[in-house]
A and B are shown apart, each in its own frame.
Chain A
Amino acid sequence: MQTRYKILVFIACLIPFALLVFDIFTDSLSANPVEDITHRTGEWALHFLIVTLSITPLRGITGWQNIQHVRRMLGLYSFFYAVLHLSIYLLDQSFSFDEILTDILKRPYITIGFSALLMMLPLALTSNRFSMRKLGPRWKRLHSLVYVIAVAAVLHFLWLVKADTLEPVIYAIVIVLLLAWRALRQRHMNRLNS
């Protein structure tokens, strides 16, 4: 039962990717396909990050324990779309090392976006049962890096828009709410324990 449900989620998470590939091959992207693909993969990386962060509050609110089992997979999908996002950027820069380095050092939105992706790397590598067992309580501490990544990702978006900040501000609010829920729950727990 659980495996089937996991496979279903696995396939569902590939739908945005499939749609993107479909749009590429049917020529339904805009006049600037590179920009389109960059934006769409970036957005989906952020969507999956938010969905991943929503699992714990959702479980707390609904008591639905089963969703816990797909959290790691959702996080890995965020990483998957973020890697696509970075790859397209590298392609856009014609893999020119100089220019990429200049961008990372000089452009704050790229600095922070690139940092977010780098921080995702250890989390992606340890998103498996073996690492969880091996790292024990340190695993949880390591994976709390996801909160920093979420903030960095939303700043990356906010710092790149020209004038219309509505969309990144909405993402920022959602992420603040998700983090606030955790902070409040922590306070509540502490109070119960004391």
Chain B
Amino acid sequence: MLIKKPSDIKPSEITDKDVYMNRRKFMQAAGSLALAGVTSPLLAKPSTQGGSGQKLANVIKTDYKVDRPLSDYKDVTTYNNFYEFGTDKKSPAKTAGQMKTKPWQVTIDGEVEKPGTYNLEDLMKPHPLEERIYRFRCVEAWSMVVPWVGFSLGDLLKRFNPTSKAKYVEFTTLFDPKQMPGQRRTVLQWPYQEGLRIDEAMHPLTMMVVGLYGEVLPNQNGAPLRLIVPWKYGFKSIKSIVRIRLTEKQPQTSWNISAPREYGFYSNVNPTVDHPRWSQKKERVLGASFFAPKKPTLMFNGYADEVAGLYKGMNLRKFY
């Protein structure tokens, strides 16, 4: 186990106001860039296949690291499950460029004292951006290692004062078949929906992501705002979020609606509970040699020390 806890320095102690202001300026610049991209197809095109190409300023390095090498940037940005842009892995990188991520608004409502719809910039403003290197394990038994950029979801939620009835958090992806061609067919129930228990959502590992490899999040990776829950299968980490609703009841989730026997609400990475159709014991680490054997999958994807306590006394075979 090489996962270390970040230091106890408060973000406010390392990020002063000037830095905030700089980031604000950067966000505005990024905004106008994106706008230019929308109005000029010539400008928009190059950003589709690769990444966003826009560096994020003032990203704080953290001690969240893993004992495996980082995946290739190219692999992370061209091998994506993002069914809103097609069900094969290559489509999102080709077609997600057309999605307009500026301006972007997120509604935070339900069991909070301060519900409302906010511009993404305003939501992000108080949060210093951190780089965290996490393992990423897909339910399809492959894995990557990604340096995400973002901040803890818990810090964001606290600002809206969840009420005592807030037991769960429900997330919703943008629904716009014009921009998301995959939504023109009902492969899954649209819009994509995911959920977490409130303690899972407040866990420091749970992250709101706005970038990777120090860059603005590429569209195919779920721009402009996505979730990352490193101890759960990848599909829990919902992309292109437009709504965060705190609820008293357990929210419905898209894959659970589609195949309840195969995709449970929890979907914690667990090598001892197989997917009904394939084994979860091992994973193919992408980027490794073609002949490299698969690696054993770790309980909670290697984050057992941090998160096993959340599930004390629960039968993880039943709550898969």
Given contact pairs A91-B291, A163-B87, A163-B259, A31 touches B278 in the complex (Cβ within 8 A): no
Whether, in the assembled complex, B142 has its beta carbon less than 8 Å from a beta carbon of chain A, the answer is yes
Beta-carbon contact of B142 and A35 below 8 Å: yes
B187: chain A residues at CB < 8 Å are 163-164
**A99 CA to B83 CA in the complex, in Å?**
30
Q: Report B176-191 CB contacts with A as 1/0, cut-off 8 Å.
A: 0000000001011000
B258: chain A residues at CB < 8 Å are 163
Whether, in the assembled complex, B124 has its beta carbon less than 8 Å from a beta carbon of chain A, the answer is no
Beta-carbon contact of A107 and B185 below 8 Å: no
Q: Report A23-42 CB contacts with B as 1/0, cut-off 8 Å.
A: 00000001111110000000
B290: chain A residues at CB < 8 Å are 33-34
Given contact pairs A99-B279, A103-B279, A31 touches B286 in the complex (Cβ within 8 A): yes
Given contact pairs A107-B277, A160-B277, A34 touches B284 in the complex (Cβ within 8 A): yes
Given contact pairs A160-B277, A163-B83, A30 touches B185 in the complex (Cβ within 8 A): no
A160: chain B residues at CB < 8 Å are 277
A102: chain B residues at CB < 8 Å are 279
**Pick the contact of B89 from A32, A107, A159, A166 — CB < 8 Å?**
A32
Whether, in the assembled complex, B78 has its beta carbon less than 8 Å from a beta carbon of chain A, the answer is yes
B142: chain A residues at CB < 8 Å are 32, 35
Number of inter-chain CB pairs below 8 Å: 55
Closest chain-B Cβ to A40's Cβ sits at a distance in Å of 12
**A91 CA to B291 CA in the complex, in Å?**
8
Query: B-side binding surface: helix, strand, loop or mixed?
Result: loop
Beta-carbon contact of A30 and B79 below 8 Å: yes
Q: Could you tell me how many residues of chain B have their Cβ less than 8 Å away from some Cβ of chain A?
A: 30
Closest chain-B Cβ to A63's Cβ sits at a distance in Å of 40
A159: chain B residues at CB < 8 Å are 277
Most B-side CB within 10 Å, residue of A33, A162, A163: A162
Q: Report B138-176 CB contacts with A as 1/0, cut-off 8 Å.
A: 001010100000000000000000000000000000000
Query: A-side binding surface: helix, strand, loop or mixed?
Result: helix
Q: How large is the interface on A (under 10, 10 to 19, 20 to 34, 35 or more residues)?
A: 20 to 34
Q: Which residues of chain A from 120 to 151 have any CB-CB distance to chain B below 8 Å in the complex? A: none
B284: chain A residues at CB < 8 Å are 32, 34-35, 92
Whether, in the assembled complex, A109 has its beta carbon less than 8 Å from a beta carbon of chain B, the answer is yes
Whether, in the assembled complex, B203 has its beta carbon less than 8 Å from a beta carbon of chain A, the answer is no
Closest chain-B Cβ to A163's Cβ sits at a distance in Å of 5
B293: chain A residues at CB < 8 Å are 94
**A91 CA to B72 CA in the complex, in Å?**
23
Most A-side CB within 10 Å, residue of B83, B278, B287: B278
**A32 CA to B90 CA in the complex, in Å?**
11
Q: Report B282-307 CB contacts with A as 1/0, cut-off 8 Å.
A: 00101100110110000000000000
Closest chain-A Cβ to B81's Cβ sits at a distance in Å of 9
Most B-side CB within 10 Å, residue of A31, A33, A107, A163: A31
Question: A residues engaging B (CB < 8 A)?
Answer: 30-35, 91-92, 94, 99, 102-103, 107-109, 159-160, 162-164, 166
Which 4 A-B pairs give the minimum distances between C-beta atoms? A31-B75, A31-B79, A164-B87, A94-B293
Query: Assuming A31-B79, A162-B259, what are 4 further A-B pairs, CB within 8 angstroms?
Result: A31-B71, A31-B78, A94-B294, A164-B87
